[in-house]
A and B are shown apart, each in its own frame.
Chain A
């Protein structure tokens, strides 16, 4: 089994006719994902290598039964694309687009709270359940099927750490690239919930980085709700301290957002924090139940 994407996934790609959209749609299909439709307004009736293109997500869903969408549309239209997907009733939408104004995402976030649609991203590499389905731009070659659930804020660290895991012979149930935007969909806590409930995940790895307080809140959640072993990696111990304008940010998070503060919070919750990607793989190998 896996979380978010799997054998049941029927994918519609919003922005399928753009160059990035087409390239990754075909890669996802070649990996084994059931890509049933694409959407580009004004191009309904065409097809991309046999994948039918519709003008709207609602039409695509009605005709093909798509239950998951992947978004490759430009930033100024992407928030609308997420709302359209939710209105068409897809269960999951994965937004790859980078650079969406945060005010637009805040409005999307408020709207999605009243729907059944789960969002991953934006500004994320997507979700892959190795050997089953790939929705996004994570290179399938670096993943291997297995029993580690993986979630990361950074895209390239998904590749680096999953590569270390695969090289060490440790496979993954699902890898979630949650993205690093301030307002996003599925985060560490939602991922931890999904992996905790997944009978085919034995250990969870989370990869964070400096800024915000997602990792601190994840640490508090792990302390109370997660029974499976968790291993973490935090990037940015050597990163230069960011400049700060006002006081408001520090008052809200009550945290400096540094890598050291995050690692400390996670360790206090019983999480093993690796200091390098390869060390994360070694710790995972030790802690993985046999």
Chain B
């Protein structure tokens, strides 16, 4: 789960990272009130689960409450890189002396945490990493040992002497966010030293491990703040993984790998998938019915392709589930069904006997993909 900046900063403050004073606003009037409270000037920032806000016009420096109103009015309700903006963060303007960059994330290639820090914040950090890698300190932190004093010295050694103590304190607090909030990424870009010498996090990017949310009901509750597509929400409530795409072949499969592969095979056959839908294990009649409802509610779907490989999932149960689902949902387009694996023959027999006018049984994944692409094209 990617947190909004203001949520990340709440976590930061709870763990001892200094941040600017900030107030969340959901209307231009609230942005005005916040700017007044912050002394008559502010920075207004869109709150979205995506990066690149500075370059994309998602951050505005406002010298007056009027400017804050205009900025908030422009941002709220807009679409930032495909993300709906429902709130902005209004923060105090601070006098910045130096900009740094630091991040800690789980490095999956070695199973350790990787810490990066550079004194050259403010510029494009990916370009810096590529062109002058020596300017970016990298330290691996063994999860069994945790963050040690020598890690800190190694990292903050690239900073101005009078920034090192303040930065060390920030790094220790970041580590406690990793350990106590199960963060898999904590990035501060930029980390700044103010003219007075204080080291402050101007930004906060925090990703929390979804698998660990059971330990953090307070963080889990934050999910309600994120805008969701009603169709995706319906799928999620039914424990289905659904992502809308822009083609015309609706896809239902079991297992993320097989569904991804189905998308590819349909594309090879000249079709385009309208969605990704992983029905997961079990594929009961209720799940199948919800899946079909979700997919058939998309007007761009011209044909549905159900691709099931039964492992634990039994194909006879899937076949009955499809027929049961079609009693609840009216099929308006052809449904190509490919069943293989556990009890596949029984499943195919059940579909053949039912002889439903919309169901097109096909024996192999390749042939089924071709048929689905052809039917979508012909519709």
Q: A residues bordering B, Cβ < 8 Å? A: 75-76, 99-107, 109-111, 125, 137-139, 141-142, 152-157, 159-160, 163, 180, 182-183, 207, 209-210, 212-214, 217, 233, 235-240, 243-254, 259, 275-278
Give bound CA distance, A275 to B268, whole Å.
8
Q: State the CA gap A191–B379 with chains docked (Å).
A: 46
Given A254-B130, A276-B264, output 6 extra A-B contacts at Cβ < 8 Å.
A142-B341, A155-B311, A160-B261, A238-B245, A238-B272, A248-B187
A237 to B51, CA, bound (A): 24
Inter-chain contact B264/A244, CB cutoff 8 Å: no
Q: Which of A209, A245, A254 has the most CB of B within 10 A?
A: A245
Q: Are A252 and B114 in contact (CB under 8 A)?
A: yes
Main DSSP-derived SS at the B contact region: mixed
A154 lies within 8 A of B258 (CB): yes
Across the interface, do B264 and A251 meet the contact criterion of CB distance under 8 Å? no
Q: Are B112 and A277 in contact (CB under 8 A)?
A: no
Q: Is the CB of A235 within 8 A of B103?
A: no
Q: Taking CB as reference atom, which chain B residue is nearest A75?
A: B211
Of the candidates B116, B144, B243, B264, which one forms a contact with A235 in the assembled complex, judged by CB atoms under 8 Å apart? Answer: B264
The yes or no answer to B365 lying at the interface (CB within 8 A) is yes
A252's contact among B105, B215, B256, B266, by CB below 8 Å, is which?
B105
- 3 closest pairs, A vs B, by CB? A154-B257, A156-B255, A110-B144
Nearest neighbor of A238 in chain B, beta-carbon distance = B263
Q: Are A137 and B312 in contact (CB under 8 A)?
A: yes
Q: Contacting chain A: which of B59-67, B159-167, B177-185, B289-297?
A: B177-185
Interface check B320, CB cutoff 8 A: no
Are A235 and B257 also in contact (CB < 8 A) when A106-B113, A137-B312, A245-B205 are? yes
Set of chain A residues within 8 Å of B107, measured between Cβ atoms? 252
Q: Which residue of B lies closest to A155 (CB)?
A: B255
A102 and B142 within 8 A (CB)? no
Tell yes or no: B224 within 8 A of A by CB: no
Q: How far is the CB of A194 from chain B (nearest CB, A)?
A: 19
The answer to whether residues A159 and B143 also contact, given A101-B211, A182-B106, A248-B116 and a CB cut-off of 8 A, is no
The answer to whether A102 touches B365 (Cβ under 8 A) is no
Q: Is B364 an interface residue (CB 8 A)?
A: yes
B185 x A246 contact (CB < 8 A): yes
Question: Which residue in A75, A101, A182, A233 is a CB contact (below 8 Å) of B182?
Answer: A101
Interface pair A213/B109, CB less than 8 Å apart: yes
A-contacting residues, B41-71, CB 8 Å: 49-51
Q: How far is the CB of B101 from chain A (nearest CB, A)?
A: 8
Q: Are B212 and A155 in contact (CB under 8 A)?
A: no
Given the contacts A155-B255, A160-B365, A238-B267, A244 and B341 also touching, CB distance less than 8 Å:
no
A102-B106, A106-B112, A139-B342 are known contacts. Are A245 and B125 too (CB-CB below 8 A)?
A: no
A240–B245 alpha-carbon span in the complex (Å): 7
Would A105 and B111 count as touching, CB distance under 8 A? yes
B185-A154 in contact (CB<8A): no
Find out whether the CB atom of B143 lies under 8 angstroms from the CB atom of A106: yes
Residue among B2, B126, B255 making CB contact with A251, cutoff 8 Å: B126
Interfacial chain A residues near B130, Cβ < 8 Å: 254
A-contacting residues, B254-280, CB 8 Å: 254-258, 260-261, 263-268, 272-273, 276
B340 partner residues in chain A, CB cutoff 8 A = 160, 163
Distance in angstroms from A134 CB to nearest chain B CB is 12
Cβ of A93 to closest chain B Cβ, rounded Å = 16
**Residues A160 and B309 in contact, CB atoms below 8 Å apart:** yes
Pair A156/B309 contact, Cβ less than 8 Å: yes
Q: A102-B106, A110-B112, A213-B109 are in contact. Are A157 and B245 (CB under 8 A)?
A: no
Contact B182–A103 (Cβ < 8 Å)? yes
Residue ID in chain A nearest B108 by CB atoms: A182
**Which A residue's beta carbon lies closest to that of B307?**
A160
> Which chain A residue shows the least CB distance to B251?
A238
List A contacts of B79 (CB < 8 A).
none
CB distance from B140 to the nearest CB of A (A): 11
Given the complex, which residues of B lie within 8 Å of A277, measured CB to CB? 261, 265, 365
Complex: A100 Cα to B210 Cα, angstroms? 10
Q: Which residue of A lies closest to B272 (CB)?
A: A238
Tell me if B214 is interfacial: C-beta within 8 Å of chain A. yes
Residue contact B264 to A245, C-beta cutoff 8 Å? no
A251 — which chain B residues lie within 8 A by C-beta?
116, 125-126, 129, 136
Contact B258 A157 (CB under 8 A): yes
Which residues of B sit under 8 angstroms from A210, Cβ to Cβ?
Answer: 260
Of B125, B189, B257, which contacts A153 at CB under 8 A?
A: B257
Q: Please measure, in the bound complex, the distance between the C-alpha atom of A119 and the C-alpha atom of B119, giving whole angstroms.
A: 40
